[in-house]
Amino acid sequence: MGYKIVKIDKESQPEDWLAFRSGGIGGSEIGTLMGVNPWKSAIELFYQKVGLFDSKVDYNMPMFMGNVLEPIVADLFEYWDDGDNLITNHVTGIRQRKLQEITGYVLNDEYPNLFFSPDRLISNRPVQRKDKLIRKNIEGIVEIKTISNWSAKQWVGGLPPSYYLQLQTYLMGLDIEDGYIVSLKDGRELDVVYIERNREVGDMIWSTFKDFWERVELAREDPDNIDMYAPEADGTQSLERFLSEKFKNPEEKTVQASQEVLQWASEHKKLMEEQKRIDDEVRERSNKIKNAMKDFTILDLGANGKVTWRPNAKGVRVFRNMYEEE
Domain ranges of the chain: 2-206, 256-326
Closest CA to 25 of 164, 169, 191, 128: 169
| CA atoms within a 13 Å half-sphere pointing along the CA-CB vector of 325 | 0
Q: Per DSSP, what are the bridge partners of residue 6?
A: 105
Output the pLDDT for position 55: 60
User: Whole-model pTM?
Assistant: 0.80
**What SS3 state is found at 146?**
strand
- CA separation for the pair 143, 120 (Å, rounded): 7
User: What is the model's pLDDT at position 304?
Assistant: 93
Q: What is the CATH number of domain 2-206?
A: 3.90.320.10
Residues of the chain falling short of pLDDT 70? 1, 54-59, 151-157
Q: How far apart are CA 262 and CA 265, in angstroms?
A: 5
